[in-house]
Structure formats: C-alpha cells, structure tokens
Amino acid sequence: MPEPLRLGIAGLGTVGTGVVRIVQRHAKLLEARSGRPISISAISARSRDKDRGVRLDSYAWEDDPVALARRSDVDVFVELMGGADGPAKAATEAAIATGKDVVTANKAMLAHHGHALALAAEDAGRVIRFEASVAGGIPVIKALTEGLAGNAITRVMGVMNGTCNFILTKMQHEGLTYDAVFDEAAKLGYLEADPKLDVGGIDAGHKLALLAAIAFGTQVAFDDMELEGIERITIEDIELAADMGYRIKLLGVAQMTGRGLEQRMSPCLVPDNSPLGQLESATNMVVLEGDSVGQIVLRGPGAGEGPTASAVMGDVVDIARGFRLPIFGQPAASLTKAKPSRASIPAPYYLRMKLQDKPGALAKIAAVLGDAGISIDRMRQYGHTDPTAPVLIVTHKTSRSALETAIAGMTKTSVLVGEPVAIRIEAV
C-alpha cells in the first residue's frame, strides 16, 4: 500500500474549498491516477466557523498558516491565501524550510518573489508548482514548461484577466461606456478589492511575467514590464476599431528581441477574425509560439472555483506521481537577468484624433507622419456636426520612437484638438 500524499491547505476561499471538494469527491480517481492516495492533513483559514458547504471536521485546524506549513504530517503545502507578501510568503518560506513541496495560485507572490523562492526551494530540493496562478483552469504552465520543452519560445501572448475582457466585450456589444460596465462588473463581484489590480493590468501582468521567465529562461522581472490598463479605453475607440476590423484587448506580449526582453501588458488592437479577437467575456486565452511548433492557442476559464481548483489538483497529482522539475523549467541559478527592452519591435498603430475643421488640417497631420517616416495604411475622416473632425489613421509598421516623434509633432501643429489616442496593433 503506497503512502498517501498529505496536503496542508492554507486559505479556504472559493479555490481552497474547491480543492477540498475534489479531494473528497474524487478520492478513488485521484488514487488511480497518482498511484497513491491523496489526503488532507490540516487546513487553515481566517474564519473557522464559516459554512463552506463542505465537511472539514476530519482535518486538523491551524489558525496560523506558518504553523500549518511546518506540520510534520504535511507533504505538500497548498497556498491559496493570496497576497504578494505577508502570511502567504512567510508560510511558503516555512514550508520550503521544513522540506515541503508547495502548490500555489499566488501570481502576485511569485511575480515579486518568484526568483528568490525558486532559489530557496531548489536549494532545499523542493518544488513549487503554480499552474493555478496563470489563466485559471488552462494548463498553460504545463504546456509551456513541458509540452513545448523542445522549442526555443519566440513569443508568448495572452488575454489573462477575465474581468478586463468582460468589460471590453460588454462595452462593445452594448455600446456602453467604460464607467457603466465597470460599475456592473463591480456589482457582479468580478473586481478585486483593489480594482486597479484588474483594470490596471497588474494581475494580468503578474501572470505574463511568470510565463516570460519560463519561456526565455530569465529571472521573473515584473518590475520591468510595460504596464497599461484599460481605464482609458473609450467606447468610441472600441467602435472605431471594430469599424476597421479590429477588437481591443488587454493583451500581454512577451518576446525576446535583439535588444532585450520585451514584456508588455497593454490594450492592443487584434484582428476581429483571429482567435484572440473572437474571445468573448471572461474567458482567457494564451498563445504560445515556438520555433518548431509554430503557434499553439489555449482557451478556457481563467478563474472560478472549479477551474482554479482543477489547476491546483493537476499540480498535486504531478507531485504525487513523482514529477520533479525546476520551478521555472530550468534551474533557478541558471536563469539570466534579462535586459529590459521597451517596444522595440515595429508595429502598425491605430491613431485617433480630433482636428479643427479647417482646410489643410489633414494635410498637416499627414505631413508630420511623413516627416517621422511613418506611412499611412488607412485613413478615415468621419462625418461630424461639431466643429472638430474625428480622424482615424492606421499606420504601416513603425517604431515606437518614430510614433512618439510624430505625436509630438502633431501636438505642435495648430490643428489638433486634445490629445491623439495611439494603440498598438499586434500581429497575432
């Protein structure tokens, strides 16, 4: 009779409760697949008395997650509390120090401390697995770290914050303003306590930073990421982009370039007939590109009890099966510190502006673009009743610096009303 793999679960929110539910419901299935039983020794959460709809009385209780992590009857510490620092980090460190493997859904902790934790874990001969921290139920860490291990990864992209995609697609379908849909998302409980984590792109940025580290063999570098949220996206931009055959997505892109590692989490235009363009509501999508495999697209639920608990249990079964690999796919000590690069890859841009309705206004703007070496792919001037003319330009591929030069030049002309809006068009 093989020894059971014994879990200690810290955090009994929806995900923690979901994990307990799977362990209870699928005991036989998990044992058949793992070659050993999977059991729960102890749990820890903020409130002991809350009714979570699942029986917990056969598990030991710890008020302190650090004490849970140190228990001798725990083989795997399952960290589902969240938070970049504080108890989650303290308990994870305690687990590693006392010889436990760790499974976590905590993207913030790993985005900020992943490299240090990986070094500590590998030093101690332990693994940290974090499938649940990126794109919920989609086994994307596994696909990237293991399935595509024979590839030099060329690019990783993803729509990895369901709330942002919900807001953007809802704005489009119902012609609503950002503020209106934001309020609805808040009412539905879709937003983090600090909404900036969602709509500011931070949560999705954490996820992209983890994927980039695996993809390019580099130390997690969330602080080097170019980060822009969706707060400034207007219904006008969504509708004009749609008119040109595009959708606006909060898109993460990580790519190793000749100048360094480029990591961007920002609103981008993507073609409306691409898989990313067709992604609706809170669903997540990750695109992995490798030199041999070409392009792989993974789509699925990015959050919620079942999907996230599924990802946690995938990691648990891997550990039960004896799979051991470096935290980021190669030894942490061998991960390089990537030089950050900002938008060095040329791209077409969407430019929206308002011009004074005077003869020669458009010619001036076109001249400024030409002077910056930017050629125009498509231009539309829309009908208007007020004295400013809405103008939309799609450029050919250009560098960011040329674009910035052009925008500075436009601002100096006397014909521009307000600031122009520039959004990158990503080739997907």
Binding site for a copy of itself (CB under 8 A): 18, 22, 26, 29-30, 32-35, 131, 137-139, 142-143, 146-152, 217, 273, 275, 278, 290-301, 304, 306-307, 309-314, 316-318, 321-326, 329-331, 334
| Burial tier of 55 (Cβ tally within 10 Å: 0-12, 13-18, 19+) | exposed
Strand-pairing partners, residue 350, are: 394, 423
Coil, helix or strand at residue 56: coil
State the number of CA atoms in the 13 A half-sphere of 203 facing the CB: 29
**C-beta closer to a copy of itself: residue 68 or 148:** 148
Query: Between residues 321 and 339, which has the closer beta carbon with respect to a copy of itself?
Result: 321
Q: Which long-range CB contacts under 8 A does 363-369 form with residues at least 24 apart?
A: 364/413, 364/415, 365/391, 365/393, 365/410, 365/413, 365/415, 365/416, 368/406, 368/409, 368/410, 368/413, 369/393, 369/395, 369/406
Least gap, CB of 152 to a copy of itself (angstroms): 6
Least Å distance between CB 401 and a copy of itself? 32
In whole angstroms, the minimum distance from the beta carbon of 335 to a copy of itself comes to 10
Q: Within 10 Å of residue 32's Cβ, how many Cβ atoms?
A: 9
**Residue 147 or 346 with smaller CB distance to a copy of itself:** 147
Tell me the backbone φ, ψ of residue 65, rounded to 5 degrees: -60, -30
Give 283 or 405: the residue with its C-beta nearer to a copy of itself: 283
Torsion of CA 211, 216, 218, 219, to 10 degrees: 0
Cβ at position 171, least distance to a copy of itself in Å? 19
Annotated catalytic residue within 207, 249, 354, 364: 207
CB atoms near residue 100 (< 10 Å): 26
Residues facing 226 on adjacent strands: 264
User: 276 and 249 in contact (C-beta within 8 Å)?
Assistant: yes
Least separation in angstroms between CB 145 and a copy of itself: 8
* Least distance from a copy of itself to the Cβ atom of residue 321, Å: 5
Q: Which is nearer to a copy of itself, 146 or 223 (CB)?
A: 146
The sign of the torsion formed by the CA atoms of 326, 332, 337, 342 equals positive
Decide if 196 is catalytic. Answer: no
Q: How far apart are CA 188 and CA 365, in angstroms?
A: 44
Instruction: List beta partners, residue 153.
Output: 290
β-bridge partners, 288: 156, 296
- Residues designated as active site: 207
